[in-house]
Amino acid sequence: HFGNVELDSYEHSIPQDVSVATCLAAATIAKKHEKIKFICCMTASGTSAVQLSQYKPQQPIIALTPFEHVYNRLAMAWVCFLF
């Protein structure tokens, strides 16, 4: 269970978007393996990091982006560390 989002309810649905499926997979793996210390994602637009943060994982999200405007936008996202 991640914050207010029940991850198990998502595990039984089939995501229609590759980025949603990737974020769901990352959140699911992180939930099942407690030794994972953080989740890292590379993002050009910030969408993947924001989608991943919606699952509210216990681990911090490290978002990597080469774009300053994306960096600034992601600074407002839940539990994201930016590089």
Residue 45's alpha-carbon distances to 4, 14, 68, in angstroms, are: 25, 24, 10
pLDDT of residue 1: 42
The pair of structure tokens assigned to 47 is 């969408």
pLDDT of residue 4: 45
pLDDT of residue 71: 87
Predicted TM-score (pTM) of the model is 0.71
pLDDT of residue 8: 56
User: Residues, the chain, total?
Assistant: 83
pLDDT of residue 3: 44
Q: How does DSSP classify residue 60? A: P
The pair of structure tokens assigned to 33 is 């393996």
pLDDT of residue 78: 57
- Give the residues of the chain that fall short of pLDDT 70: 1-16, 77-83
pLDDT of residue 82: 65
